[in-house]
Every structure is written in C-alpha cells, then in structure tokens.
Chain A
Amino acid sequence: MSTSAVNDDVRACLELGVQAAEAYKRPDLGDRLHHLVGQVGDPDVQVVVVGEFKQGKSSLINALVNAKICPVDDDIATAVPTVLRHGEEKQAWAVVSPVTDGAPPPEGSEERRAIPFDQVPAYATELGGVDHTLHIKGVEIELPRKLLSEGLVLVDTPGVGGLGSAHATAALGALSVADAALFVSDASQEYTRAEMDFLAQAQDLCSTVVCIMTKTDFYPAWRRVLEINTGHLNRLGFNIPILPVSSMLRAEAVRRNDRELNRESGFPELVRSLTGEIVAGANARERERAKITIVNVCDQLSGQFEAELAALNDPERANELLERLEEAKRKSDTLRSQVAKWSTTLNDGVGDLTSDIEFDFRQRMRSITQEGDAAIENSDPLDTWAEFEPWLVNRVSHEVVSNYRYMTERASALSADVGTHFGGDELLEDLEIHNPTSVLEGVSVEPSMDLTETTAGKKGLTVLKGSYSGMLMFGVLGGMVAVAAPVLPFVAPAVGAMMGRGALKDEKVRQIAKRRAEARNSMRRYCDEVSFQVTKDSRDTMRRVQRQLRDHYSTRAEELHKSTTENLKAAQEAAKVGVAEKAGRLRDIEAELGRIRGLRTRAAELPAISPTAQAAAQPAAAAAGGSGA
C-alpha cells in the first residue's frame, strides 16, 4: 500500500542506514531500521467519523471520496462501522462471524469475505440481513483515491442515540484507537446536551477532534448556529474548530465540475484539515521517530571508529581511553544482565500497574452498580428496564474504554521510566493495547423473565383474576386509574371495593419488590460477567505489554552491549597497530566516519514535515485562519 511519495526522503535515509549497518556487520541495527522502512511508508492514520444518527455522516464520507459508498437514506441508518482506505482497485469486504445466539463466537470464527461493490449498502445498513446466519461486524473498502493515498483511513460509524441504532459502544471503541475524530452535527440546531456529553467523551478518548457542521446548504441560519456552538465549546474550554460543510453542494460541484460551488461547499478546508493537519501530524510523528532512530544508529556505528581513531591519534592517552571504554562496556553488561536496574523498574512497574488498573476498574464498576441500584430503587423496573439496559451497557462500555485509556497512559509512562536507564531516547511508543470493546461483544444483559413482556401479560392477568365478575366483568388493566375495583354484585359494593383495593395494593408492592430484586440481579450478573472478561483481557494485555517492553529494551541493551564491545575491541586493536599501517588505517577510518556522519547529518536535517505535505498544509493554515469568523 505504500504508494505515497511523501516520505521518500526518510525512506532513502533509512535504506542507506540499513546498508551501512550491514557493511559494518551490525545486522541487529539494520533490522531495526528495516522495520521502520515499512512503517514510515504506511502511516495508516485512522480518522473516525462520529455523531448522532441522521446527521449526515455517511453523506460526508461519500462527498469526501466522491463515490456513493456509505449508504445514505432518509430513514435507514448505518449499522456497522465502514472502513475506507486506499487501494489500487475498488474492492469491498464484509467482516462476518456466525450467529451464535448470545454465546460468544468461537475464537477465530471471524472471517473477511469479499463482497460485490454494489452490495455494500445492504451489508452496512440497519436492514442488514443479507444472510441471517451471519453476524456482520463491519465493512471494509479499498478505493483508488488521492485523498486516501497518504495513509488516511476513514471510518464511518453507526450514529449514536437512534431507536434502532447500536449502543454508543461501537463509536467509543473506534474512537479509543483512532488518530483523530470528526464529530458530525447538522446545522439545524445548536448542540444538544447529549451531543455535548458525547463530545466530552470523544475529547477524552481521542487527541484530535474536529467538529463538522453539515447541511449548511439547507439551513439559512447556519452562521448563527455556528456562532452559538462555538460559544458552547468555548464555555466548556474545548479548543475545537468547527468546519461548516455541505455534502450536497460538494456532490453537485463534482458533478458539474464547478470550482466555485466546491469552494462554497466548505470541503476544500475539510480536505486540507484532514491531509494538512491530521495526516501530516501523524506523519510528522512517524518521521520524527525515524529520524531519532537513524541518528542513534549512526552514533552507535561511528562509536567504534571514533574509539579507534582516538586510540590511533593519541597513543599516550590510549590507556585512559581504554578504561573509559571498559567502563561503558561494564555498564552495558549490567544493562544486559538479568538483574539490570531497568528490568527491576519494569517488573515492579508492571506489578504496580496491574493492581492499579484493577483497582481503577473495580472502582468504576462499583460506581456503576451504585448508580444502577439507586435507579432501580427509584422506579419500577417493568417500566424502566427497556431504558435501563442500554444505559447500563453504555455506561459499562464507557468505563471499560476509559479504564483501557488509563492503562495506555500508565504503560507509556512506565515505558518512559524504563527508557531513562537507556538515556531516554528511543522509547517504545506503540504499545499493543487493543480496543477493549470486542471483549464486551460476547457479554449481554440477560433480564429475568419477569422483566420482559410476558410478565406484563401475566400481571394483567393477575389483576383481571381478582376483578372478573357479573356485569362489571373486568378490572382496570393498568391504563387509567390506580385502583382496580372488583365490585361484586352480591356483596355491598363498598366492602368489595375495599377488599379488592387492599389485596391489589399488597400484590403490587410485592411484585415491584420482586422485580427490583430481579433487575438488580440481572445488573450484577452482567457486571460480574463483564468484570470477569475484562479482568482476564486486561491481565493478558498487561502481560503482552510487559513482554513487549522487555523485548524492546533487552534488544536495546543487546545492541548497546555489542556497540560498546566493538568500540573497545577497535580501540584495543588500534593500540597494537604499527606505525606503517597507521596512516592507511587513519585514512580508512576518516572515510568511514565521513560516510556515517554524512548520513547522520542528513537524517538530522530531515524536515519535520515532508516537503510535499508541507506544500499542501500551508494554504490550509491560511484558510483556517480565515474561516474562524
């Protein structure tokens, strides 16, 4: 997929570095650089499009890539995440797993199967149901588009808050692993409370959030709405830009090939923000990492020559030099050994981390169950269960995602701590912490029978039983009045009513208490199951991270050790070199050093943003400044 020319300069440097490392018999350093060559070429910047349902997310993506890919309909909404990335040809896949009736699907049953391009809407919408034996988890699309060629990956998510839409889990999960988020809301009105809450969550989970206001063609007062929304954002201290766009005008502009219309659609600015700021930002981070690595490798490579050079140039102080080198080697020996301080830092750190994270998670779950208990206590679960359940699922997924977020932060800090033993650069940054929401997918809330509809019928029946008689053959089924009066014709009406009333009241109280207990149990069962799954996954993740950190830093220690050994050996050998060979050797070393230093300088002077991206970013900055009004 690395068709981009953006990072050619970095790649060239890296490849030179690989050659140099091989020439100087340091394949370990070469591997490291080689690994980076692939990464720099393919930054894979995930931009997630999120927002409430029916705000025009899919239209926005279609207009961005100029193709009818994501399904757009007045009524039916997107149901599964749709991932769009660059590819040489138009292709589409559906990620499916067999339907297992609630039980978590067996490991590895997930399958990515190619689907015809025109079937994408069928797979991606609420209608779904192309094949009922399959559970569609997502759709992936490759498209040959210039916009995507620099590694931009667009993810369309199901809208939040609709009647039929999935829980916010999917969107939150996608957010937690994304590089940036586009928060979409249309120009029909200012942000609602639900939107502001969601925005706050998004801001919490994702470093870069850009607000998009859609449908500006249709709402004359969009400037007012923009102004009001900017006010809302400022009040909460969110420093987020809002870009007004019209997908309709953009599509029309493309159809008519009308530049002016395209400008009015607001898309040029959006594209610039995407490529110029978001992609370039992610790119710049990749470049920076490559740069540091090359410089570091060069320093290690030049070490042995510098040592030799110093020994050759100044034989009197050779001993002093040797001592210094031996000291460095001893240090690297300790780093390499099992009892190295960094490894203690790592092991202790992981231990602390695991218990902190579990504590954090338990705290979070506890506050959920407390809130849940309070809510159940204040209502009749029969009425509120339908609403309570999604609340519970949403709350839990949000807390789980936040917990993983915390884990990521802490693990990065730990990596930095360990890194200080190595001088602080070349930290391991890409920790393998995955989106936790897949863990939650297998767990579902299973309400007891009493909270589902059948009970509603049963309850009606109980009431009816008491009230059936003679002329007035039915009681109140529950619509109008608090009292269901079974007026028996042979008994004085008053007495009958009193008795019926009392019996019904008791029955009611008893049933509500029963339902509350059941609701609490269902909630506890769900939370327990989630805790079990999450704790297991979180421990696995911690182990994986620990292994990853250990491998990373022990490789670093290994490299350092090798370098210091080589340096020492070179210096020792230089000390023995005869006068006759000395001149020749000196020349050789100067030449080698010249080459390595050349590469180092070249790497160090690589611009932070690639020249092509910079060219694209500059007008964006100017335009962004202008659009603030």
Chain B
Amino acid sequence: MSLVDQARAVLLDAQTAFAGTDASALDEALKRLDGPLRVAIAGKVKAGKSTLLNALVGERLAPTDTGECTKIVTWYQDGHTYQVLVHPRDGSDAVQARFHRDEGAIEVDLAGLDSDHVDRIDVTWPSSGLRKLTLIDTPGVDSLSEGIATKAFEFLDPEDNDTPADAVLYLMKHIHSSDLRLLEAFHDDSVSQPNPVNAVAVLSRADEIGAGRLDSMASARRIAKRYGQDGRMKRLVQVVVPVAGLLAETGETLTEWEFKALRELGNAPAKELEPYLLSADRFVEARPETPLTSLEREQLLGRFGLFGIRLSLALLRRNVVDSSVELADELVSRSGLVELQTLLTTLFVDRADVLKARSALLAVERMCNEHGEVPESSELLLTIERIMAGAHPFNELSTLAAVRSGWIKAKEADLADLERVLGASGTAPWQRLGIDESTPPDGITSAAIEQLGRWQRLAENPFTTHDLVTSSRVVIRTLEEMITSATTPANS
C-alpha cells in the first residue's frame, strides 16, 4: 500500500471517528491529498514574488508594480473554468468575485470589501503551468503596513495550524538577517527543529546584482553558492538558486511586437545607441531619431529592465538569436528559471506524495490531540506512529534534515554522499547514486551494490559515531530497496 493510500485510509477512519465534531480540517486534508502539490512563494516586500509566479505559470496572472502590490494571499490553481473566489476573514462563505485583466494581470474587484477583511483569494485558471503545482502568492513580510505583514506571517507560520503549503520558495534579493528569521518561522511547528527539506531559497532579482552588467548572472551564481554553504542557510533551506525574475517572466511571455522592437533597436548603429543605454532615463528620453517612440521604449524598459534590454541587444547583434522564439528561449535559460523548475521537480514534485501524506497525517494527529475525548483517537495516533516510523521515505527525509542541520558529524565527503543517496539532489536512482543518467539498469544495480558495501563497512566500523551509524542504516535501506526494485522490475 503506498504512503498516500495509507494516509488516505487513516483520514477516512478519522472522519468516521470524529463525525460528531467539526471535522472540516480532515475534509480539507483529504482534498489536499488528491490535489497538486502546494508551493508558497514567500519573501520580503518587493522580492519579486509575483514576477516569479508569473514566470513559473508562463502567463502574466499576478499583478506587479513598483510599489507594494500583493496585499492578499492569493492561490493560483488549475481548473476547468476561469473563476475567482474571495474568502472573507470573518469565516463567512466565499463569494465569487468579478475580475478583469490589465495587460494580462488579473485585477480582482473586491466589490467594496476592504483588503484587510479578506482572508485569501482563490484564482482558478486553466493552465498547464499549474497542473502539477498550485502556486500561492503571499504579501511581503517586511511590509511597512502592519496588517499586510501580519497576514503573510500568519499564513506562513499559523499559530494553530499546519502551514497550508507543502513547500516554500523563499525569495530574497540578498540574504538579509531578517530573511533568516522568516525562514526559521517556516518550519514544522510540531518539532523544534527547522526543517530544510521543504524549502528552497531563491536569489530572485539576480539581474540586479551586478547593476546590469552582462555578467550579472555569473556573479549571482557565485553568491548563491556561497550562501548555500553558509551553515545557517543550510539548516533552513535545501539549496539557494539565482533567478532573474523579470527576465524569466518576460521570456515566458515575450510578444512578437517586443521582438520586432528590439530588433529595430539592434539594427541601429551600436555607437549611436550606446549613450542611451547608460541609464534608464536616457533610454526613455533618447533623441527622436532613435528607433521607436519614447513611450514604446518605456514600455520595453518596464518589461525587460535595463539588463534585459542590454542582454537582448547583445544577443541580437551577435546573431545568437534570430527569432522571437529563440530570444524567448535564450532569455528563459539565462534567467535561471529552467534550473529552478528542474529543482522543483526533483525536490518537490517527485516527492509530492511523501510531503502530502505527511501533511495529511499531521492533520489527523492534531485532530486527535485536540479531541482526546474521542475513544478512537489513541488508536489513530498509534496507527500514525506506525506509518511514520515504518515508512522509509519519511526516514529519508528526517535523516536528510538531520544531516543538513549539522547534527551528524562526519567527513565532508561522507556527508555530501549521504545527502545525495538520501535524495537531496533528486530521487531518481541515477541521481541518488551520482552516476550518468543513461546508465542501464544493471549498471545502476552494480553501482548501488558497490555503494552499499561502503556504507555497510562504515556502519560496522566500531569507530563510527552512533549518529552516523544510524544514518548509514537509513542509506543502506535506501540502497537495498533500489537494488530490489531494479532486479524485480515488475514490482516497480
């Protein structure tokens, strides 16, 4: 029985047991178990949350602006029809709201409702980008308006509830000490340790790091790597990646007109154009004989940013790209979005079942603790514990968390291998074993057997610390399962 099935069985049992009480949390958990993985996009004001959300969906849905823009927690999920639901704060029924699109972005008409009185907005939107992930846009946490900041905090670190998201992308410009604080808030509240397995940090405005120099992304990668190795970050997130949000969004939603306009600019002599690329003001207010009108240039600047324009012009001039499709691809690949998407797949989507089952079991556990008077609750708690302890994926995740929290002392190289086998960089066998993707099944088996031997020796060595022995045993079991499923493909 798969983990999700086990969790579902427990949930159904719990629903029967708690039939008399307010069991809406269980209904919610059941719905969540069958839905796509929920990924929250969090961060401080103006970290570029909505921009990245649009880039991930591949469509401009969330409105973006120079000032603080997102004020309400907004869920974007896939569905058959276009629909916007507004959930009021006082707990009354959600109302369907009218909306219109402003240059693509969805502007919701709250029909006179003050944004302070809205708990959240649900946007249902048929989109392939939302099929595997439900994305949740949150207001900035460092907001100057007290109410907004509280809202985001309540969402990410609710006092009485499990966080509604399965995983979090935490966006930051540079890592500020207050970013750490928020990240710390987003951890499993039933365990005293922050949990780095379901969070990824994103350096979201990577194109701004070098103030628009063409090598900005390389700089951003270097910085992300350094942050990723910082002990405090390691304890909080799995990995730090740079993404140029604006570039990614524009690349994903590039229009033919924009491409033509850029080409027109690119056709002008480089020397003539150069003084106008010095600053944003200069670009907009360039002399009338430069291509395009001032208004059109301003529009381009808003979409690409100075870095995007410089980059696109360089790409066009060097004939690296020759069509809007090529330019869009190039922009997206240079923005770091592809790496982020791969990461989301390996870290979250492949593991979605484990994460969702965990959320479901936690929901039942809380219900049992709250309603200890229900006779079945102790029985249910035991079942949960049995599942939790027996399910190897949970053990992998918790050992991984322990390794990343710096609890286990071992050689750097051993720790790195430990993390890898446990699935830190992906759960496919070749990723866990650190071998080539095209390795045939028997190659995988032999590699697994070889590594198994090493961990077994390590576990039996009397000088190995107790913690490391325990972790090694988890690794051994992972490898054993890998070997079994490789030799008996019918069961996999």
A-side residues, CB < 8 A to B, are: 52-54, 74-75, 161-163, 188-194, 196, 215-222, 224-225, 228, 232, 246, 248-249, 252, 261, 264, 380, 382-384, 386-387, 390, 453, 456-457, 459-461, 464-465, 468, 472-483, 485, 487, 493-494, 497-498, 501, 508, 512
The residues of A that contact B210 with a CB separation of less than 8 Å are 74
Q: Which of B142, B192, B208 contacts A383 (CB 8 A)?
A: B192
The reply to whether B388 and A190 contact each other, CB–CB distance below 8 Å, is no
Q: Which of A221, A232, A498 contacts B144 (CB 8 A)?
A: A232
- Interface 9-residue window, one of B221-229, B313-321, B333-341: B221-229
The reply to whether B281 and A161 contact each other, CB–CB distance below 8 Å, is no
Shortest CB–CB separation between residue A162 and chain B, in angstroms? 7
The reply to whether A480 and B195 contact each other, CB–CB distance below 8 Å, is yes
Known: A220-B280, A225-B66, A249-B279. A162 touches B177 (CB 8 A): yes
The reply to whether B365 and A163 contact each other, CB–CB distance below 8 Å, is no
Minimum CB distance partner of A228 in chain B:
B67
What 1/0 mask marks residues of chain B from 434 to 477 whose CB sits below 8 Å from any chain A CB?
00000000000000000000000000000000110011011000
Shortest CB–CB separation between residue B274 and chain A, in angstroms? 11
Known: A163-B177, A196-B144, A220-B280. A494 touches B467 (CB 8 A): no
Smallest CB-CB A-B distances: 9 pairs? A479-B401, A477-B402, A479-B398, A217-B279, A189-B46, A220-B280, A482-B190, A221-B66, A74-B219
Shortest CB–CB separation between residue B405 and chain A, in angstroms? 7
The residues of A that contact B211 with a CB separation of less than 8 Å are 215, 217-218, 248
The reply to whether B191 and A474 contact each other, CB–CB distance below 8 Å, is no
The reply to whether B208 and A188 contact each other, CB–CB distance below 8 Å, is yes
Minimum CB distance partner of A476 in chain B:
B398
The reply to whether B192 and A478 contact each other, CB–CB distance below 8 Å, is yes
Shortest CB–CB separation between residue B71 and chain A, in angstroms? 14
Known: A188-B46, A218-B279. A75 touches B219 (CB 8 A): yes
Total contacting residues, chain B, CB less than 8 A: 86
Bound complex: CA A177 to CA B406 (Å)? 42
Shortest CB–CB separation between residue A315 and chain B, in angstroms? 79
The residues of A that contact B279 with a CB separation of less than 8 Å are 216-218, 246, 248-249, 264
List which B404-434 residues lie within 8 A (CB) of chain A: 405-409
The reply to whether A480 and B188 contact each other, CB–CB distance below 8 Å, is yes
CB of B329 closer than 8 Å to a CB of A: no
Shortest CB–CB separation between residue B404 and chain A, in angstroms? 9
The residues of A that contact B144 with a CB separation of less than 8 Å are 190-193, 196, 232
Q: Could you give 11 example pairs across A and B, Cβ below 8 Å?
A: A217-B278, A222-B280, A248-B278, A457-B408, A461-B467, A476-B389, A479-B193, A480-B188, A480-B397, A493-B382, A494-B382
CB of B306 closer than 8 Å to a CB of A: yes
Bound complex: CA A316 to CA B175 (Å)? 87
Shortest CB–CB separation between residue B381 and chain A, in angstroms? 8
The reply to whether B68 and A478 contact each other, CB–CB distance below 8 Å, is no
Minimum CB distance partner of B386 in chain A:
A493
The reply to whether A382 and B278 contact each other, CB–CB distance below 8 Å, is no
Bound complex: CA A605 to CA B487 (Å)? 102
Minimum CB distance partner of A455 in chain B:
B407
What 1/0 mask marks residues of chain B from 374 to 389 whose CB sits below 8 Å from any chain A CB?
0000000010011011
The reply to whether B394 and A483 contact each other, CB–CB distance below 8 Å, is no
The residues of A that contact B382 with a CB separation of less than 8 Å are 493-494, 497-498
Most chain A CB inside 10 Å of its own CB: which residue of B149, B197, B365, B407: B407
Minimum CB distance partner of A191 in chain B:
B144
The reply to whether A261 and B278 contact each other, CB–CB distance below 8 Å, is yes
- Interface 9-residue window, one of B85-93, B178-186, B253-261: B178-186
Bound complex: CA A475 to CA B230 (Å)? 27
Q: Which of A75, A456, A461, A475 contacts B223 (CB 8 A)?
A: A75
List which B248-277 residues lie within 8 A (CB) of chain A: none
Bound complex: CA A384 to CA B194 (Å)? 10
The reply to whether A383 and B190 contact each other, CB–CB distance below 8 Å, is no
Most chain B CB inside 10 Å of its own CB: which residue of A390, A474, A476, A498: A474
Bound complex: CA A457 to CA B402 (Å)? 9
Known: A75-B226, A217-B278, A478-B398. A472 touches B389 (CB 8 A): yes
Bound complex: CA A465 to CA B184 (Å)? 27
CB of B302 closer than 8 Å to a CB of A: yes
Given pairs A218-B211, A457-B467, A478-B193, 18 additional interface contacts (CB within 8 A): A75-B226, A162-B174, A162-B175, A163-B230, A194-B178, A196-B144, A216-B279, A217-B279, A224-B66, A261-B278, A476-B388, A478-B401, A478-B402, A479-B401, A480-B195, A481-B398, A485-B385, A497-B385
Known: A163-B230, A249-B279, A460-B407. A481 touches B176 (CB 8 A): no
The reply to whether A477 and B398 contact each other, CB–CB distance below 8 Å, is yes
Shortest CB–CB separation between residue A74 and chain B, in angstroms? 4
Minimum CB distance partner of B385 in chain A:
A485
The reply to whether A190 and B278 contact each other, CB–CB distance below 8 Å, is no
The reply to whether B219 and A163 contact each other, CB–CB distance below 8 Å, is no
The reply to whether A193 and B407 contact each other, CB–CB distance below 8 Å, is no
Interface Cβ pair total, 8 Å cutoff: 222
Bound complex: CA A6 to CA B21 (Å)? 84
Known: A188-B173, A485-B385. A474 touches B473 (CB 8 A): yes
The residues of A that contact B230 with a CB separation of less than 8 Å are 163
Bound complex: CA A206 to CA B19 (Å)? 64
The residues of B that contact A479 with a CB separation of less than 8 Å are 188, 191, 193, 195, 197, 397-402, 405
The reply to whether A481 and B190 contact each other, CB–CB distance below 8 Å, is yes
Chain B interface main SS type: helix
Bound complex: CA A225 to CA B67 (Å)? 7
CB of B44 closer than 8 Å to a CB of A: yes
CB of B126 closer than 8 Å to a CB of A: no
The reply to whether B473 and A473 contact each other, CB–CB distance below 8 Å, is yes
CB of B122 closer than 8 Å to a CB of A: no
Bound complex: CA A468 to CA B395 (Å)? 13
The residues of A that contact B346 with a CB separation of less than 8 Å are none
Q: Which of A218, A225, A249, A387 contacts B184 (CB 8 A)?
A: A387
The reply to whether B142 and A480 contact each other, CB–CB distance below 8 Å, is no
CB of B205 closer than 8 Å to a CB of A: yes
CB of B298 closer than 8 Å to a CB of A: yes
Minimum CB distance partner of A456 in chain B:
B407
List which B228-255 residues lie within 8 A (CB) of chain A: 230, 232-233
The residues of A that contact B386 with a CB separation of less than 8 Å are 485, 487, 493, 497
The reply to whether A218 and B46 contact each other, CB–CB distance below 8 Å, is no
Bound complex: CA A461 to CA B67 (Å)? 49
Bound complex: CA A175 to CA B361 (Å)? 53
The reply to whether A220 and B284 contact each other, CB–CB distance below 8 Å, is yes
The residues of A that contact B324 with a CB separation of less than 8 Å are none
The residues of A that contact B406 with a CB separation of less than 8 Å are 453, 456-457
The residues of A that contact B365 with a CB separation of less than 8 Å are 482
The reply to whether A264 and B282 contact each other, CB–CB distance below 8 Å, is yes
Bound complex: CA A370 to CA B127 (Å)? 52
CB of B35 closer than 8 Å to a CB of A: no
The residues of B that contact A380 with a CB separation of less than 8 Å are 192
The residues of B that contact A494 with a CB separation of less than 8 Å are 382
Known: A457-B407, A480-B188. A464 touches B467 (CB 8 A): yes
Bound complex: CA A194 to CA B401 (Å)? 31
Minimum CB distance partner of B388 in chain A:
A481
Minimum CB distance partner of A497 in chain B:
B385
What 1/0 mask marks residues of chain B from 58 to 74 whose CB sits below 8 Å from any chain A CB?
00000000111000000
Shortest CB–CB separation between residue A169 and chain B, in angstroms? 14
Bound complex: CA A162 to CA B46 (Å)? 17
Shortest CB–CB separation between residue A269 and chain B, in angstroms? 15
The residues of B that contact A477 with a CB separation of less than 8 Å are 398-399, 401-402, 407, 467, 470-471
CB of B390 closer than 8 Å to a CB of A: yes
Known: A74-B223, A478-B191, A478-B398. A384 touches B184 (CB 8 A): yes
The residues of B that contact A487 with a CB separation of less than 8 Å are 386, 389-390
Q: Which of A219, A482, A497 contacts B191 (CB 8 A)?
A: A482
Minimum CB distance partner of A382 in chain B:
B192
The reply to whether B409 and A216 contact each other, CB–CB distance below 8 Å, is no
What 1/0 mask marks residues of chain B from 193 to 222 whose CB sits below 8 Å from any chain A CB?
111010000000100111110001001101
Shortest CB–CB separation between residue A160 and chain B, in angstroms? 9
